[in-house]
Structure 1
Amino acid sequence: MSETAAEGVTVSERAAKRIGEILKAEPEGTMLRVSVEGGGCSGFQYKFDMDRAKADDDLVIARDGAVVLIDPVSVNFMSGSEIDFVEDLIGASFKIKNPNATASCGCGTSFAL
């Protein structure tokens, strides 16, 4: 597994930097968990949580001090995606560029397949 890509999911340099900054303020061993859940205005939504426990079947992506965990079910929905961090006039947030999504909402956290 490469540092930046696994199972076709990548973490951009900007996202890795921001995740690393966030994790520095958390207890030692904390990782960012990204998951896909049913709901949101388009059918599925991304969820971001801090987690200190890694499951045996989690996908682990490590880059520049950032560690991201993704469960196997969520990986199926996110294959080929890039986790990015963007700053614009309305604020800063993590965005997932998912080539599998056929539609998404304006907030960028909800999508349809």
Structure 2
Amino acid sequence: MITITENAAKHINHYLSNRGKGLGVRLGVKTSGCSGMAYNLEFVDEASPDDTVFEEHGAKVFVDPKSLVYLDGTQVDYTKEGLQEGFKFENPNVKDSCGCGESFHV
């Protein structure tokens, strides 16, 4: 299960509104970084039949079956800390992450 905070939903819907189209966002993982995997977030215009869809606060997050194994239990949030602003992922499956916080290992 993927949860979406109210703040994250607000930003997802804002970005979709500015874009003028889209069903939601796709959250996935890709091989990258010094720890092995990185989060990937992109707009969804057409859902895949294999997607699992999570919806909270009016926003939808689509996850493919391969990524769901690594993302199950993740909370999607949107934070602003100092000069850094963006989506933040609280993933209980992460065992280790790199110093810059861009990649992780499960």
Q: TM-score, normalised by structure 2?
A: 0.90
Paired residues, number:
106
Q: Is residue 99 of structure 2 the alignment partner of residue 78 of structure 1?
A: no
Distance 1:105 1:69, change over 3 A: same
Counterpart contact for 1:20–1:64, Cα < 8 Å? no
Question: Which runs of no fewer than 5 residues in structure 1 stay unpaired?
Answer: 1-7
Matched residue, 1:110: 103
Question: Which runs of no fewer than 5 residues in structure 2 stay unpaired?
Answer: none
Matched residue, 1:55: 48
Q: Deviations over 1:47-94 (max 9, x none)?
A: 111120100110112223322111111111011110111101132111
- In structure 1, how many angstroms separate the alpha carbons of the residues matched to 2:84 and 2:70? 26
Counterpart contact for 2:3–2:56, Cα < 8 Å? no
- In structure 2, how many angstroms separate the alpha carbons of the residues matched to 1:99 and 1:106? 18
The ranges of structure 1 where at least 4 consecutive aligned residues each deviate by more than 4 angstroms after the TM superposition are none
Shift, 1:26, TM fit: 1.6
Q: TM-score, normalised by structure 1?
A: 0.85
Distance 1:108 1:15, change over 3 A: farther
